[in-house]
A and B are shown apart, each in its own frame.
Chain A
Amino acid sequence: MRIIALVNRIIQQMLRDKRTLALLFLAPLLILSLMYFIFHTEDSSPKLGVIGGDTKIVKTLENANIEVEKFNQLSQKEALAEGLDGWLTIENKQLSLTLQNDSPSKAKALQMQVKQALTTFQMNSISSKIPDLGVTINYVYGDENTQLFDIISPILVGFFVFFFVFLIAGIALLKERTTGTLERLLATPIRRHEVVLGYLIGYGLFAVIQTSIVVLYAVKILDIVLVGSIWYVLLINLLLALVALSLGILLSSFASSEFQMVQFIPLVIIPQIFFTGLFPLDGMADWLLSIGKIMPLYYAADALTGVMYKGFAFTDILVDLGALLLFSILFITLNFVALKKYRAI
């Protein structure tokens, strides 16, 4: 009897909390479908540029399921702009393969495919015009020792900065809302922008310290690959922390308990991870990719891998930084408006 009373009460409470209920049933479906689309992508064939050489080689490579484009001349800059995964230069019977290598597993696969294709080509060519098929291999980014971790570590650094700043700032302001101190605060002559800025600066200070510790530890102690400037890494992460801070504060106005704040993790945090580049984005459908473009972590991950792994300069990450800045301005403005709920002016 008492057990039934308890069960009844729990059912009543759950039915009352529509959001928890929706999350319980719908969030797994959302995450699952995202994963379905991300891992069920078309097997995209690698793009290879061929410079010099005859059409026979191109044919053989194409037969090996490689997308081949022929060039007469190609600089590294042009090749990267073309989105090639690698290019094969044939000059005086010397073959050299340059791999873009922004994903080590893909680069290794392409290397294998090219080698196999070339062996087939050699066996088929009766005249044996290419006696020696030694291929020199160059890398645009990293080298033959590049591991998956080198690529994902910049993303992880950004992710942890985002995640913890988001959660801590969100829960802190939530506490202020639930204890009534926010309402009390707004009965004093404090301006709404002063509340928003005070929060951004107060928690921002801790975010700066946290970001610096994470970045320095990753680079100096764990010796994570850092080709570009550490100052850019700090700058990107600080901007990302600002986005996380303003987003956390904003979303806390839509939560009425710490529990509901935590519910934002599968809705706001996890989907972002899928678009950071931790999972290959190449075969992803266009509509799915455009979803990624409304997510702050997408830009941060792009800029971070750019600077840390590819050695990007400031001008190369300008667009990403701009996007992050726009996100934070948007969230800060929305925060300012959301405070109207607590005071009419």
Chain B
Amino acid sequence: MSSIQLTDVQKHFQKRSIIQNVSLSIDSGKIFGLIGPSGCGKTTLIKLIVGMLKADAGQIEVFQQTVPNYNLLKRIGYMAQSDALYSDLTGMENMQFFAKLYSLNKAERDKRIAYAADIVQLTNELSQKVQNYSGGMKRRLSLAIALLQNPDILILDEPTVGIDPALKLTIWQELERLKKIEKKTILLTTHVMDEAEKCDELALMRVGKIIATGTPTTLKALYSADTFDEVFLRAGGAKI
């Protein structure tokens, strides 16, 4: 069963077409990767799914409900590409603020914050102001905030940029666990090709269009490539 369904979605910005006739179906309990060169419309597509932008044409459904839909917002955990954090507040204050926006009670808040901080290994740094965080720490805090309300769908825009390999491994293990045990649906964008291989399914985007979908293995076969870097380059039109 699909939890995210896009049909002929189009989006323009000042006459420039950003998303052209995109149709996509993302199954529940899967990790779905969106890959493609920068500027190909990944972030716009994600914002359309979250409901922050409204499509010019076509239909987007999340859990069989048409987007934008207010009630869906609490079921979607969103991590933006830029770290949207209050830098003059501490990590804990940031998390408390967002947890309150999801109307979690005190006990739930404390439990979820402890859990999310532990996943991204920020528990000991929560009392520091965010302006003193490194780039990677900010990224981790953003990810932790996306996990706070225990959403059914996680939408992560380049979640692991600037995060070191060891921590990246932990985060991926947690994403796998969330998928398997808690049956979450995870949609992420990435530039890192070894991450793309860990996804259950992938969509390759180029200039506002989805040019191929499938499992990592099928995509590799499609482009007769050995590695994902090759798939990426060939899909981009490069001759190897």
Identify the A interface with B (CB < 8 A).
179-181, 183-191, 342-345
Q: A189, B70: Cβ atoms under 8 Å?
A: yes
Chain B nearest CB, measured from A169 CB (Å)? 17
A186 contact set on B, CB distance < 8 A: 52
27 A-B pairs within 8 Å (CB atoms) are namely A179-B85, A179-B86, A180-B80, A181-B84, A181-B86, A183-B52, A184-B78, A184-B80, A184-B84, A185-B101, A187-B50, A188-B101, A188-B102, A189-B73, A189-B101, A189-B102, A189-B103, A190-B101, A191-B70, A342-B52, A343-B51, A343-B52, A344-B51, A344-B52, A344-B54, A344-B68, A345-B51
For the complex of A and B, 6 pairs with smallest distance between CB atoms: A184-B84, A344-B54, A180-B84, A189-B73, A344-B68, A188-B101
B82 contact set on A, CB distance < 8 A: 180
B70 contact set on A, CB distance < 8 A: 189, 191, 345
Q: B101, A343: Cβ atoms under 8 Å?
A: no
> How far apart are the CA atoms of A344 and B102 in the complex, in Å?
19
Neighbour of B80 across the interface among A187, A189, A190, A191, CB < 8 A: A187
Identify the B interface with A (CB < 8 A).
50-54, 68-71, 73-74, 76, 78, 80, 82-87, 98, 101-103
Given contacts A179-B87, A187-B50, A191-B70, 9 further A-B contacts (CB under 8 A): A180-B80, A181-B86, A184-B78, A189-B70, A189-B102, A189-B103, A190-B101, A344-B51, A345-B70
> How far apart are the CA atoms of A82 and B98 in the complex, in Å?
60
> How far apart are the CA atoms of A185 and B101 in the complex, in Å?
8
> How far apart are the CA atoms of A344 and B51 in the complex, in Å?
6
> How far apart are the CA atoms of A344 and B50 in the complex, in Å?
10
Q: A187, B73: Cβ atoms under 8 Å?
A: yes
Neighbour of B69 across the interface among A185, A188, A345, CB < 8 A: A345
Chain A nearest CB, measured from B156 CB (Å)? 12
Tell me the interface secondary structure of chain B in the complex: loop
Q: B85, A181: Cβ atoms under 8 Å?
A: yes
B71 contact set on A, CB distance < 8 A: 189
> How far apart are the CA atoms of A16 and B230 in the complex, in Å?
39
Chain A nearest CB, measured from B188 CB (Å)? 15
> How far apart are the CA atoms of A208 and B156 in the complex, in Å?
41
User: Who on chain A is nearest to B148 by CB?
Assistant: A188
Which of B50, B69, B71, B73 has the most A CB atoms < 10 Å from its CB?
Answer: B73
B98 contact set on A, CB distance < 8 A: 188
> How far apart are the CA atoms of A342 and B103 in the complex, in Å?
21
Chain A nearest CB, measured from B50 CB (Å)? 6
B101 contact set on A, CB distance < 8 A: 185, 188-190
> How far apart are the CA atoms of A183 and B102 in the complex, in Å?
16
Q: B51, A183: Cβ atoms under 8 Å?
A: no
B85 contact set on A, CB distance < 8 A: 179, 181
A181 contact set on B, CB distance < 8 A: 84-86
Q: B74, A189: Cβ atoms under 8 Å?
A: yes
A343 contact set on B, CB distance < 8 A: 51-52, 68
User: Who on chain A is nearest to B76 by CB?
Assistant: A187
> How far apart are the CA atoms of A331 and B224 in the complex, in Å?
59
User: Who on chain A is nearest to B54 by CB?
Assistant: A344
> How far apart are the CA atoms of A186 and B47 in the complex, in Å?
11
Chain B nearest CB, measured from A269 CB (Å)? 27
Chain A nearest CB, measured from B71 CB (Å)? 8
> How far apart are the CA atoms of A18 and B50 in the complex, in Å?
33
B78 contact set on A, CB distance < 8 A: 184, 187
User: Who on chain B is nearest to A191 by CB?
Assistant: B70
B74 contact set on A, CB distance < 8 A: 188-189
> How far apart are the CA atoms of A283 and B51 in the complex, in Å?
56
Chain B nearest CB, measured from A193 CB (Å)? 12
Known interface pairs A179-B87, A187-B78, A188-B73; A345-B68 also in contact (CB < 8 Å): yes
> How far apart are the CA atoms of A344 and B67 in the complex, in Å?
9
Chain A nearest CB, measured from B28 CB (Å)? 21
> How far apart are the CA atoms of A187 and B86 in the complex, in Å?
15
Chain A nearest CB, measured from B1 CB (Å)? 24
Q: A344, B80: Cβ atoms under 8 Å?
A: no
A188 contact set on B, CB distance < 8 A: 73-74, 98, 101-102
A183 contact set on B, CB distance < 8 A: 52, 80, 84
A191 contact set on B, CB distance < 8 A: 70
User: Who on chain A is nearest to B67 by CB?
Assistant: A344
Chain A nearest CB, measured from B55 CB (Å)? 9
B87 contact set on A, CB distance < 8 A: 179
> How far apart are the CA atoms of A184 and B94 in the complex, in Å?
12
Q: B102, A187: Cβ atoms under 8 Å?
A: no
Chain A nearest CB, measured from B13 CB (Å)? 12
A345 contact set on B, CB distance < 8 A: 51, 68-70
User: Who on chain A is nearest to B71 by CB?
Assistant: A189
B84 contact set on A, CB distance < 8 A: 179-181, 183-185
User: Who on chain B is nearest to A340 by CB?
Assistant: B54
Chain A nearest CB, measured from B68 CB (Å)? 4
Chain A nearest CB, measured from B192 CB (Å)? 22
A187 contact set on B, CB distance < 8 A: 50, 52, 73, 76, 78, 80
Chain B nearest CB, measured from A338 CB (Å)? 15
> How far apart are the CA atoms of A59 and B102 in the complex, in Å?
80
B103 contact set on A, CB distance < 8 A: 189
User: Who on chain B is nearest to A345 by CB?
Assistant: B68
B76 contact set on A, CB distance < 8 A: 187
> How far apart are the CA atoms of A187 and B75 in the complex, in Å?
11
